[in-house]
Structure 1
Amino acid sequence: MARYNELLAQKRELDRRIEEARRVEAAAALEKVRDAVAEFGFSPEDVFGQRRKNAGRVVAAKYRNPTTGETWSGRGRAPQWLRGEDRENFRITE
């Protein structure tokens, strides 16, 4: 049975070999992608898709907790204070 230090040394060597294989294969994959982009004239939008025009925009709050002043835009998971409640009672009207 191998000793603890010997196993750690083997692990370090294996980790080094894994990283080297990953680097080599990643370089080959990147070269294929670059060749395809150059050959077919792909644009960044072709490769990565269209970016949403409203991505990253802050949305105005639609609901407010009158007790704490917390707000929620109506997007994503509803906050705990609004669950099981009639949302219209918390709607911000301005």
Structure 2
Amino acid sequence: MVRLPLTPAELERGQRLGALLRRARGERSILDTALDARVSPETLRKIETGRVATPAFSTIAAIAEVLDLSLDEVWAEISRPEREVESTSTGRTTA
């Protein structure tokens, strides 16, 4: 099976997902979080760094549960339009 390259939008969503999980994890270790979510620490590390931009739903659901994030929160973060992300990250507004 050949996997198609990810689009820039998919890569951007993966980066936003990783950033959200890192923020939600706070001072908690990757090891503890991963073990509680029943995923490997390497998988969590790859998701947080954006190296796995499209993880399985069940993986994200398990990590979100451990971090006390609702799936609605996760979806809201990763589905924001790119222009909104740019204005949020730069402090500028787009109109």
Query: Shorter-normalised TM-score: what interval?
Result: under 0.3
Q: Which has the higher helix share?
A: 2
Radius of gyration: which is bigger? Answer: 1
TM-score by length of 2: 0.26
Instruction: Considering Cα pairs closer than 8 Å and 6+ residues apart, tell me whether 1 or 2 has the greater RCO.
Output: 2
TM-score by length of 1: 0.26
Q: Which has the higher strand share?
A: 1
